[in-house]
Amino acid sequence: MSRHTNGSRPLALFRSPLGIVLAAAVVVVLGTAIGLAAWRSGPPQRTLTAHFAAAVGIYPNSDVRIMGVKVGTITRVHPEGSTVAVTMTYDAKYKVPATAKAVIVPPSVVSDRYVQLTPGYSGHGALLADHAQLRGARAVVPLELDDVYKALDNLNTALGPDGANKNGSLSNLVGNARKNLQGNGKDLHQTLNDLADALDTLSDGRQDLFGTVVNLQKFTTALAESDDAVRQFNSQLADVSEQLAGERDDLAAALRDLGVALGQVSRFVKNNRQELVNNVDALTDITGVLVKQQKSIMDILDVAPTALSNLNLAYNARSGTLDVRDDVLGPYDAASYVCSVVTHLVPAKQVPLACFKLATLLAKAGQPLTKELKKLLSLLPLPGVDLGAIVDPDPDGTTGGTGRTGSKPEDGAGDTSGGVTSDPTLGGILGGGAS
């Protein structure tokens, strides 16, 4: 029984008025602690200080907004030198671009002044750092109404009787403008319409206009990059100009002479118009022939250099002859040709014995024979005629019985098996060959 009484004493304590007060105090303390912890553990904040030229109507706890939405508050406003430093905080979850400005927005019908951070974040780019400082053009203040009134008052003073209209100049301007515009409303309306059409045309061609500006910018950039070359060009141009200036008398005389020459040419053309027309017509025919023979002309131009080179190489300076083979007679020499003609024209018994001798020697040397010389070979031997009796007057064998001088076509000099040499060059045929 005694133990039951001792164990229930703590419960009895909480049931007493003092216990209830203590419990309530503990609950209040715990609630306050939890609230402070929750307040301190709220969303992270960022701090920003903007230095305005003036901060009329801005106080601590004024709003900080982005695109009209409150994101923070102003914590401190204090003068700092020639500016007013406004310190503000905003939730870090709101992103502000690194190029943002702080603008004081004047009051509207339903709101007080606040600081707007503009522009909004576009989704890419650097963010404004914590504890950033905005100065100069990045801290914008509105035009105060007093400033507007002051500017209007200054304008009225400048245009009033103490200013531009002191001698009635402004009144005269307005009066003359009224007189000039009176009755010209229709023309003025048409002018404005035409101006609007011109602006529409410029708007339609803005891509080309901007492209022209871009290309002009590239051109000027290229000139800037080539500054040394441009300077050198200008220097050379100055030298040329100076030289032309020094020779201006000669240039003037040349221009005068040119004028006289052009006059003479004009008179010549006028006096010989029909002859010039005829010449041009004939030239047209010649041009047509040249066009038709274009391939032949091209062939000549291709072959002529080689032919002229060969002609130069064929010239024999020692004998003054061209060492070429005369192909007019084909593969045969002049003696063979003469004997062939004689054999063809006269009976066989009237053919000179030298032709029989020539045919025999050419056959022994393996030289080509005409059909007439082959005919002479078929008639051999001649009755009562010894061809060996026809003695070559040249004992060293360089001259045949035909009086021809030459060598084999292959090596140009040498004795044949029959003692006859052949010179196929033009000099050999004409008897002017070298020994």
CB distance 345 to 311 below 8 Å:
no
Does residue 9 register a pLDDT over 80?
A: no
Least confident of 279-283, 375-379, 393-397: 393-397
Cα–Cα nearest to 100, from 129, 70, 59 = 129
| More confident of the two residues 428 and 119 | 119
Q: Give residue 420's pLDDT.
A: 43
Cα–Cα nearest to 142, from 118, 107, 177, 170 = 107
Q: Give residue 289's pLDDT.
A: 87
Outline where DSSP puts E strands in 53-119: 63-66, 69-80, 83-91, 101-105, 114-118
Global pTM reads: 0.34
- For residue 348, give the DSSP letter: G
Cα 104 to Cα 74: distance, rounded to the nearest angstrom: 12
203-208 average pLDDT score: 86
Least confident of 60-64, 88-92, 136-140, 346-350: 346-350
Does residue 427 register a pLDDT over 70?
A: no
